[in-house]
Structure 1
Amino acid sequence: MGRGRVELKRIENKINRQVTFSKRRNGLLKKAYELSVLCDAEVALIIFSSRGKLYEFGSASMTKTLERYQRCCFNPQDNSAERETQSWYQEVSKLKAKYESLQRTQRHLLGEDLGPLSVKELQNLEKQLEGALAQARQRKTQILMEQMEELRRKERELGDMNKQLKIKVSLEMSSLETEGEGLRAIPCPWNPGSSSGTNSFPVHVQPSNPMEIEPEPVLQIGYHHYNLGEGTSSVPRRMAVESNIFQGWTL
């Protein structure tokens, strides 16, 4: 019977793992030797065990083989860096040339350095300027139309606000007039000319002659009241009252 296929995984048994390492290491070293002899190849083999022990094989000197390996591995990296630097230099050169071309075109559009240009180039420049001028005018017209539309919109808004304010003021004025009419309709008791014709407050009319004021009642103590005769009707009443008071006290 043939040997079965071994599953590739770590051998858990320590003794079996060590035995397998020794067998396969010797087989690998043998294969490397056979490859170097049969094919005339430069072979270098380095093996470290799990304990850190070194096993190596070199068909030639191990040092020379490692130096050759380093030259083959690191030189392409240097070459790639050099190629990248060269590509960046070329890119910078292209960008610089493009920048100079744009500056030259700008000077031509400004009317500078036109001497070296040919007739065809001048015609192309003229077409470019005409196209740019037409676009600038179109853009200016568009901006002006937008500004006019904005001003019209603001005018409509202000007109609406003005109408609303007028309506509000008219309503307030009508309410004030209604309140004023209500106040005028209320009778005032202190107004002699009121339409009701009644007055709760007595109105004293000042006579034209101050001597015609009737005397107020006087408290008389200790004297008799004397009536004036008809013959003394010409004397003012106030003087009669004063003389009556004086005669009463003298008596």
Structure 2
Amino acid sequence: MVRGKIQMKFIENESSRLVTFSKRKNGLLKKARELSVLCDAEVALIIFSQKGRLFQFSSSNMENTIEKYLEHGKEEETTTNNTEVQQHVQPLKHEGAFTAKKIEFFESSKRKLLGQDLGTCSVEELHDIHIQLENSLKTIRARKAELYKEDIKKSKAKEKFLFQENTRLRKQCGRKPNQTPEKQKEIASCSQRTVSLEVVTDLFIGLPPFQ
């Protein structure tokens, strides 16, 4: 008669569960003993029943076997940790080497832009450096012009503010307000033109005097 396959799940019936535990436990202890004798292996087996009862088998000293197991576990954990560390360190090493090369390249480019270490440069490299410097000068000049415009704008705003403040103070003192800065500039320009047209000449009638 063919023995039916037992389904692996918790046995609900308590009596059946106890019988199965006893049979399987004995079989497991027997197999452990046979393995230790036939193969000269160090075998240790520990079983706790549902109620906490201990069953054990050891081919040698149980405590020595457990201690050996714990040491082996520590070594395995250390090896695993070292492997994980190496897996994390290796990409960092590659990244560090790549970063170092980039820094070296930028330092070399900086020296060349400063006119240093040009002896090993080809004509094409010198041409590229020349273009970079021209582009940099254009950017610097544009920024300089922008700052000048900002300064002029601030100066005009300050001039306007001071004029308004002067006008307010003159009114408080009962004096006639000054002309606007634009009007003052216009008058000054006209005055300069008038002075330039007033040429001093001496008119003589008759022969010029002898020197």
Provide TM-score, normalisation by structure 1: 0.47
Matched, 1:91 2:95: yes
Which of the pair is proportionally richer in helix? 2
Following the alignment from structure 2 to structure 1, what is the Cα–Cα distance between the partners of residues 25 and 31? Answer: 10
Distance 2:22 2:74 in 1: 27
Q: Name the CA distance, whole Å, in 1 between partners of 2:139 and 2:23.
A: 84
CA contact (8 A) 2:113 2:129 kept: yes
CA contact (8 A) 1:107 1:113 kept: yes
Q: Could you say which residue in structure 2 is the equivalent of 1:161?
A: 165
Rate the CA distance shift 1:146–1:45 in 2: closer, same or farther, 3 A: farther
118, 130, 135: which one pairs with 1:126? Answer: 130
Q: Partners in 2 of 1:59 and 1:65 — Cα distance?
A: 14
1:153 Cα deviation from its structure 2 partner? 0.6
Q: CA deviation at 1:44?
A: 6.2
More deviation, 106-115/55-64: 55-64
- Once the two structures are superposed, residues 139-188 of structure 1 have per-residue CA deviations (whole angstroms, 9 ceiling, x without a partner) of 111111111111111111001001101111108xxxxxxxxxxxxxxxxx
| 2:146 is equivalent to residue 142 of structure 1 | yes
Provide the rounded CA distance (Å) in 1 between the counterparts of 2:74 and 2:91: 26
- Residue identity (%): 28
Bigger CA radius of gyration? 1
- Report matched runs for 1:76-87 at 5 Å: 76-87=80-91
Aligned length, in residue pairs: 154
> Residue 47 and residue 135 in structure 1: after superposition, are their counterparts in 2 closer, same or farther (change >3 A)?
farther
Q: Is 1:101 the equivalent of 2:90?
A: no
Unaligned runs of 5+ in 2: 1-9, 35-41, 176-211
> CA offset at residue 93 of structure 1?
2.0
| Contact 2:47-2:56 within 8 A present in 1 as well | yes
Query: Deviation per CA, 1:34-54, whole angstroms, max 9, x where unpaired?
Result: 9979xxxx9865456899976
Write the letter of the residue equivalent to 2:134: E
1:88 and 1:33 map into 2 onto residues whose CA distance is 51
Aligned residue identity for 2:89:
T
Provide the C-alpha distance between the structure 1 equivalents of 2:149 and 2:27, rounded to a whole number of angstroms. 90
1:59 and 1:97 mapped to 2: Cα distance? 61
5 Å-filtered alignment, 1:87-236, equals: 87-170=91-174
- For structure 1, the residue ranges without an aligned partner over 5 or more in a row are 7-15, 172-251
Whether the 8 Å CA contact 1:29–1:45 is kept in 2: the answer is: no
Q: Secondary structure at the match of 1:170?
A: coil
Task: Supply the distance in 1 between the matched residues of 2:129 and 2:159 (Cα, whole angstroms).
Answer: 45
- Deviation for aligned residue 1:114: 0.9
Q: Would the aligned equivalents of 2:29 and 2:45 in 1 still touch at CA under 8 Å?
A: no
**What SS is found at the alignment partner of 1:85?**
helix
Query: C-alpha distance in 2, partners of 1:135/1:43?
Result: 81
For 1:104, give the aligned amino acid: S
Q: Distance in 2 between matches of 1:28 and 1:127?
A: 87
> What is the RMSD computed on CA atoms of the aligned residues?
4.4
Give the structure-2-normalised TM-score.
Answer: 0.54
Amino acid paired to 1:112 = Q
